Amino acid sequence: MKSIPLLLIYLRLVFAFVIVALSLFKPAGISAYIITLIVLGLISDIFDGIIARKLNVSTEKLRRMDSGIDQIFWLCIVAASFIMHPKFYTNNWLQIVVLIAAEGLCYLISFIKFRKEVATHAIASKIWTLVLFATLIQIIAIGKSVVLFQFCFYLGMVTRLEIIIILLLIKQWTNDIPTVYHAYLIRNNKPIKRHRLFNG
């Protein structure tokens, strides 16, 4: 039972590589296959943390691994959508580069300050993940996204800024920080209340 969260994390890694393979080989019904794997991957991402907390196995190592594989999973989905619909990326390359750079800056700050990767799992970032999920689904399904992509971009920038502020506020590396306000409390050595299922 206690290995279930770890298995769910590794399952998401398998899904990531299968998604890229499907985009390269382009079998009939490719969009449906990839979208199904993305949905399953998102479900595994939601439940690995919930189950880990229920089983009292939500360790720092597990949360760091979860964050790392999350990045691989989403990068593989982006790569697959690029292989399938490169025109979308050509038309929106500047915003995509800016968003990727903002994400990279979060990791750079975390590594410079703490020698560890980002694992804040902020609530706003979780919401952005759902918007990113919807945007990538739309791109994979029809090859374009206009209004949803713009919303995804600006929300992504706001949530990356929140992560950067959180990282600058906290004095020691900490995972599962719901908001900037919680980071402020942590900085001042005050206890914070985390949601029992979704944080900590």
Which of 37, 53, 84 terminates a domain? The answer is 84
pTM: 0.88
Q: Are residues 62 and 101 in the same domain?
A: no
Q: Are residues 100 and 193 in the same domain?
A: yes
Q: Are residues 63 and 93 in the same domain?
A: no
| CA-based nearest residue to 43, from 81, 15, 75 | 15
The dihedral through the CA atoms of 11, 36, 123, 55 has a sign that is negative
Q: What domain range includes position 30?
A: 1-84
**pLDDT-derived band at 196, boundaries 50, 70, 90:** low
Amino acid identity of 134? A
Question: In whole angstroms, what is the distance from residue 101 CA to residue 107 CA?
Answer: 10
Q: Report residue 19 as tokens.
A: 């998604």
Count of domains for the chain: 2
Q: Using one digit for the tens of pLDDT, what is the confidence trace for 44-68?
A: 998 998 898 888 888 888 888 888 8
**pLDDT for 200 beyond 70:** no
Amino acid identity of 31? S
- Three-state DSSP at 80 gives helix
Q: Are residues 35 and 1 in the same domain?
A: yes
